[in-house]
A and B are shown apart, each in its own frame.
Chain A
């Protein structure tokens, strides 16, 4: 075991590139398309990396943890290239069809199984595919630790953190003892890119893969069997907004002139309507 004293876990999910997002015949997310690290998870990882910068690289260790198919390795390696130290993937066919309850059960059990006493766990506020914001709070409940969602500012104070979270029309600041779980919004920070000094490690580091058996759960407890909710049906939504008209012209002035013209037409049209009425 290493003597790094401060241990951080970051929950990371890989999601389809938005323009490629589509449903399978069964109404589940098609995971075979081009994908990327969930944007909110990048902000969670950045929060972890900033904390590592604050506490000191030599004292801090970041574990990135993900549950999903083998190709999720892509995002885990990306996280390593940004400065994470260890990567864990929970991957098993039995996990297919897990809802947020079952996902949190699996992730929470995995974290306990790892036997690392994490001082802090970061999660993205939400994913852009599931878009529930459930998994973070539900993992915290499993682990029996406090959590705060919608976090956009973190001050590290040793045995506790002071965090500011978004609230409709303002914000609220909490003092939270550690260990705790925080879910991070996209306004919290600007995620860094990959760093050259981690490139080789990111390529070579072994990603430890766990199965459902490995963490001591059964097939009934995870996947669709272990999920209280089910997707009953999926329907298409149609949008009725006409596409954007882009202003054209050689110069900026031309474009603005064209806009002025378009607006004038609208004003004239509404005047004509008013006369008719």
Chain B
């Protein structure tokens, strides 16, 4: 008998633990709302992926919708894939704050005993999910990019777990994909990277149940006050529609941005749809408004040409632009990570490089490969 056959024979004698029959049931997602009182895109992505997982587990998909005046969205979440929507509508939950939101989700988990609970790996999600996981004493897998359902054999304990959630996430500096399991505790919890999973098509024939839930709060849930919420508004910047983005980082400095504005202006005069972008480094330094920010917490862009000037290329910046067709990087540090995704690189001081580029564009000596 080969070792493989031996292994299989042994496994046949293992006790089978079916996760979906341990008194826990259902796939849950947190339907995240944004300050403008609309769902974050990741909510629809989670419904799409959650639907797939729920179908594999032959169970229901429930969305938990928390906020103030949010009930109007419940039906929409059903059209997008939910079988059930638990609505927690309360004036005090208007703006995200981690303590009351943790308590609400904790209460729901105690009552409903879900098998799986997914969050978006947004800045709110990554603040909330770990606190919830610690409160319910379960594991949490961060920033996942793939899910599946499968078996897990524990040879030491002679147990075979069926229907466990495979949570796959980039690790070791994005060079590897690790599959994480949480076979013994529930819910199996994960946060899912935004922009990866595919939403379902909106379908108005989909039916579902809307359930109101009233949490029990105590004073200690509200010791933190929300003082100010500041999101965009004002002048609109069309980064998504631009064919060429001229983007500046902290290395550019305040005056340097005037030079980049000039660059954009000259490109527009030549008929290109050009826009000014920026790294968070530049935004935080106060060189430019956050509406221009590209990256994980800014806009995700995919222009024909992305020109990164004085940007180091931190992973959060790359996340928002590395799918651009051509990337031109100008940086005085030849080891800057931006060069790892660039098509063309110029090592040098932007103050020397950019004026020459602008001049050449003006004279028609520099053209760009853009689609119509």
Contact = CB atoms under 8 A, between A and B. Distances in A.
Interface of A: 18, 21-23, 27, 29, 99-101, 104, 128-129, 131-138, 140-142, 146-150, 152, 162, 165-177, 186-187, 227-237, 241-242, 244-247, 252-253, 255-256, 259-260, 262-264, 266-267, 269-270
Interface of B: 34-35, 40, 95-99, 102, 122-124, 126-127, 129-131, 133-135, 137-143, 152, 166, 170-185, 223-232, 280-281, 284, 290-291, 293, 297-298, 314, 322, 326, 328-329, 334, 339-348, 352-353, 356-357, 360, 365-369, 371
A247 B356 CA distance: 14
Contacts of B329: 244
22 contacts: A101-B140, A133-B130, A133-B142, A138-B130, A148-B127, A149-B123, A166-B123, A167-B124, A167-B297, A168-B40, A172-B35, A172-B229, A173-B227, A229-B182, A234-B179, A236-B176, A246-B339, A246-B347, A252-B356, A256-B366, A263-B344, A266-B326
Contacts of A177: 223-224
B131 A147 contact: yes
Given A133-B126, A135-B130, A246-B347, 13 more contacts: A22-B172, A29-B172, A133-B130, A134-B142, A168-B34, A169-B293, A170-B290, A173-B226, A174-B227, A237-B175, A244-B329, A244-B344, A244-B345
Contact of B131 (A137, A152, A235): A137
Nearest to A149: B127
A246 B353 CA distance: 14
A234 B185 contact: no
A104 B172 contact: no
A247 B344 contact: yes
Contacts of A101: 133-134, 137-140
Give the most central of B137, B224, B280: most A CB within 10 Å.
B224
B180 A231 contact: yes
A100 to B, nearest CB: 7
A172 B228 contact: yes
Nearest to B357: A256
A187 B171 contact: no
B346 A167 contact: no
Which of B95, B232, B366 has most A Cβ within 10 Å?
A: B366
A233 B34 CA distance: 35
B140 A169 contact: no
Contacts of B99: 146
Given A100-B140, A260-B360, A187 B127 contact: no
Contacts of A229: 139-141, 180-182
Contacts of A167: 35, 123-124, 229, 231, 297
B284 A256 contact: no
A149 B228 contact: no
Given A152-B284, A259-B366, A236 B231 contact: no
B273 to A, nearest CB: 16
Contacts of B34: 168
B182 to A, nearest CB: 5
A34 to B, nearest CB: 14
Given A169-B297, A170-B290, A229-B182, A132 B142 contact: yes
Given A133-B142, A228-B182, A255-B348, A260 B343 contact: no
B27 to A, nearest CB: 18
